[in-house]
Amino acid sequence: MDTVGKIAIVGAGAVGCYYGGRLAQHGQDVHFLMRSDYEVVMRDGLHITSSLGDANLRVNAYQSATAIGPCDLVIIALKATSNVALIELIPPLLHEGTLLLTLQNGLGNEEFLAHHFGAHRVLGGLCFVCINRTAAGVIHHMAQGRIYLGEHTRSPQLRTHALAAVLNQSGIDCVIEPSLSAARWKKLVWNIPFNGLSIAEGGIDTAAILGDPRIERRVRDLMTEIIATAQALGHSIPFDLITDMIERTRTMARYRPSSLIDYQEGREVELEPIWGEPLRQAEEARLVMPQVAELYEQLSFLSQNRVAFVGIRSGP
C-alpha cells in the first residue's frame, strides 16, 4: 500500500469527510480539522453511506490546526468563500515539503494558495461527485466520485502520479489531467448552469432543471457559451461534452447542487469563484459571456436580497 504520509483535511464538510473518510478507511494517516461536527464525530464516529460501500469510522479529529501539527499533505475542501481563513489555518500544518491539494470549486483557488504559501506546493483536484452531509458526521454519497488531479502551472510530476495511486488504492477514482486550468473550465461547464439555475429558477434540483424544456435549453446555451470561451482561451474542450454531462446528470435523479443547499441554509454562495472569476478572465481576454453574465446578475441579486423559496420543486 502506497502512502503520502500524514494527511490533514481542512474543510470537513461533505467533500472533505467523504474523501478523507475513504483515505482513512484504507489505512492512510488522516487527521480532520473539525468545528461544528467535532463532538458528534468524537462520540459516534464518521459515517458514510454509499452504493460503493458504507463505512463507519473512528477518525482523528481536532478543533485546531495547531493540534494536528505539520503534515505531508493538506487537502483543502473549505468553501472558497472562506479562503481568507486559510491564511491562519494552513501555517501550523506546514513543513518544508508539505503539499497543498485544493478540492474547491471555481477559479482562483490555486492562485490564492500559491500567493500565500508558495506555488511549488500547490495541486488541484476537481471532484465530480453527488454527495451531501445529511447530519453531523453523516455523509451520503449518491453517485460518481472521480477526482481529476493536476499541478498548478505545470505538467504532472512524479508526486502527482504518487498521489493519484494512493487515491485509487483508497477506492477513489482518480485521473491525472495534463492541464489543471483546462480541467477547471471543464468543470465550470457543469457548475455554472446547474448550481446557478437551481437557485435562479426558484429552488429546484437537477431533475426539475432537466424536466423543463425551457430550463434545459438554458443549460445547453450556457454550456455552449462556456466551452466557446474556454476554447478561445486555449483550452481543448469539445462541444460533445454537453450531451455527456447532461446525460450523466439525468442519472443523479433529484440532486440538490451544493450552491442551492448553501443558499437555502443561509450560507454565502460561492458567487465569485464559480461565476464572477470566469467572467473576469473572459473580459481580460476581450471575450464576452452574456448568458453567464445574466445568470451572475440574477444570483447576485438573489444573494443580496435572500429570497426565500416556498418549498422546492423536485421533479418535472
Task: Report which secondary-structure segment, H or E, holds 197.
Answer: helix 180-200
Tell me if 187 sits within 8 A of 127, measured CB to CB. Answer: no
Number of helices and strands in the chain (H, E):
14, 10
Phi, psi of 5 (to 5 degrees): 90, -150
Tell me if 77 sits within 8 A of 104, measured CB to CB. Answer: yes
Q: Tell me how many degrees the CA angle 14-15-20 measures, rounded to the nearest 5.
A: 105
Q: Tell me how many degrees the CA angle 40-46-47 measures, rounded to the nearest 5.
A: 120
Is the Cα torsion angle 272, 273, 274, 279 positive or negative in sign? positive
308: its cell numbers: 426565500
In 10 A of CB 162, how many CB atoms?
13
Q: Which residues are catalytically annotated? A: 187
Tell me if 93 sits within 8 A of 117, measured CB to CB. Answer: no
Beta bridge partner(s), residue 140: 49, 132
Tell me if 150 sits within 8 A of 177, measured CB to CB. Answer: yes
Of 190, 209, 195, residue with least CA distance to 316: 209
Q: How far apart are CA 51 and CA 142, in angstroms?
A: 7
Amino acid at 208: A
